[in-house]
């Protein structure tokens, strides 16, 4: 009877601590659902590789995944101030971001590519001198394009807005991560990805500097998902093998 009471009390306390439906502790993921195939809207839902990886991690930790969709350049701040527990948004590990947050072990690799209109004379990053390049605000593409001397950078809130600007002739090229580039090119006529990846990047999950306990748990979960093959299965579900 005593044990029963203890269990009951523990259960009640958990429920009181997190006013959530499942009675599980929440794991809040900050993301920007404008980045297919990693995170994007499908009807009312937010789906994609990152969402499934985050869900698998939450399951592993026995927590309830809650997705907070926000502007891309708000994610690191949301994590570092504790508004969200983790940032999962195709986030490239960078020196700059490491000043504000910690990163998990990487779960995949990526690269920046250039999208141009058919008939464009741009064949690589060197040709961007004197041109206007559309990027998503606050991304690594934004930083790399800004480093090209003589190129003008136009910043958009969503990667897709940069692609629309390209279609409308407002910019000469778009610099963006390779997988979203493939998706946007597939969805639109008359543009293509230049067959040259000129950065090597690793995507990882951002966690607040003082939350090393969660970081360790996430790293353990990633290791398990890697070992079981589930991580690769999630990626393969969204990205056709080349």
Report the residue number, 106 or 230, with the smaller CB distance to ligand GLN: 106
Is residue 91 part of the contact set for ligand GLN (CB under 6 A)? yes
Rounded to the nearest whole angstrom, what is the least distance from the CB of residue 188 to ligand GLN in the complex?
Answer: 18
Report the residue number, 120 or 199, with the smaller CB distance to ligand GLN: 199
Strand-pairing partners, residue 193, are 115
Q: Select the residue interacting with ligand GLN from 37, 51, 86, 92 (CB under 6 A).
A: 92
What's 126-186 look like in SS3?
Answer: HHHCCCEEEEECCCHHHHHHHHCCCCEEEEECCHHHHHHHHHCCCCCEEEEEHHHHHHHHH
Site string for ligand GLN, 125-154 (x = CB under 6 A): -----------x--xx--------------
Looking at residue 201, the DSSP 8-state letter turns out to be: E
Residues in 165-204 at the binding interface with ligand GLN, rule: CB under 6 A: 177
Rounded to the nearest whole angstrom, what is the least distance from the CB of residue 29 to ligand GLN in the complex?
Answer: 13
The helix/strand/coil state of 202 is strand
How many alpha carbons fall within 13 Å on the CB side of residue 182? Answer: 15
Q: Select the residue interacting with ligand GLN from 27, 32, 108, 125 (CB under 6 A).
A: 32
Give the distance from CA 63 to its chain's centroid.
20
Instruction: Tell whether the torsion through CA atoms of 153, 159, 162 and 163 is positive or negative.
Output: positive
Q: Which stretch binds ligand GLN (CB under 6 A): 20-28, 52-60, 61-69, 84-92?
A: 84-92
Q: Which residues of 104-127 are buried (b: 16+ CB within 10 A; e: fewer)?
A: beebbebbbbbbbbeebebeebeb
Rounded to the nearest whole angstrom, what is the least distance from the CB of residue 51 to ligand GLN in the complex?
Answer: 13
Q: Select the residue interacting with ligand GLN from 78, 89, 174, 183 (CB under 6 A).
A: 89
Site string for ligand GLN, 53-82 (x = CB under 6 A): -------------------x----------
Report the residue number, 80 or 136, with the smaller CB distance to ligand GLN: 136
> How many residues of this chain bind ligand GLN (CB under 6 A)?
13
Rounded to the nearest whole angstrom, what is the least distance from the CB of residue 8 to ligand GLN in the complex?
Answer: 44
Q: How crowded is residue 230: how many other Cβ atoms within 10 Å of its Cβ? A: 15
Report the residue number, 51 or 64, with the smaller CB distance to ligand GLN: 51
- Tell me the H-state helices in 23-139: 49-61, 75-80, 95-98
Is residue 29 part of the contact set for ligand GLN (CB under 6 A)? no
Looking at residue 93, the DSSP 8-state letter turns out to be: P
Alpha carbons 239 and 180: distance in angstroms, whole number: 10
- Kindly give, in sequence order, each residue whose CB lies less than 8 Å from that of residue 81, ignoring residues fewer than 6 positions away: 208
Residue ranges binding ligand GLN (CB under 6 A): 32, 35, 72, 89-92, 110, 136, 139-140, 159, 177
């Amino acid at each position: 009877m005593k044990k029963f009471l203890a269990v009951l009390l523990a259960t009640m306390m958990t429920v009181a601590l997190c006013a959530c439906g499942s009675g599980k502790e929440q794991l809040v993921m900050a993301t920007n659902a404008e980045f297919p195939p990693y995170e994007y809207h499908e009807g009312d839902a937010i789906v994609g590789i990152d969402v499934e990886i985050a869900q698998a991690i939450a399951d592993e930790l026995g927590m309830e995944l809650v997705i907070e969709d926000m502007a891309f350049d708000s994610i690191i701040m949301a994590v570092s101030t504790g508004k969200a527990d983790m940032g999962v948004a195709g986030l490239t590990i960078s020196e700059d971001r490491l000043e504000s947050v910690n990163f998990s072990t990487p779960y995949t690799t990526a690269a920046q590519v250039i999208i141009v209109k058919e008939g464009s004379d741009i064949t690589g990053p060197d040709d961007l001198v004197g041109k206007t390049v559309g990027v998503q605000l606050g991304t690594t593409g934004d930083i790399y394009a800004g480093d090209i001397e003589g190129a003008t950078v136009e910043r958009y809130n969503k990667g897709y807005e940069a692609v629309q600007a390209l279609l409308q002739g407002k910019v000469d090229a778009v610099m963006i991560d390779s997988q979203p580039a493939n998706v946007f090119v597939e969805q639109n006529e008359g543009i293509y990805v230049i067959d040259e990846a000129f950065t090597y990047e690793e995507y990882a999950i951002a966690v607040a500097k003082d939350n090393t306990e969660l970081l360790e748990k996430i790293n353990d979960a990633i290791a398990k998902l890697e070992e079981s093959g589930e991580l690769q299965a999630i990626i393969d579900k969204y990205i056709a093998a080349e």
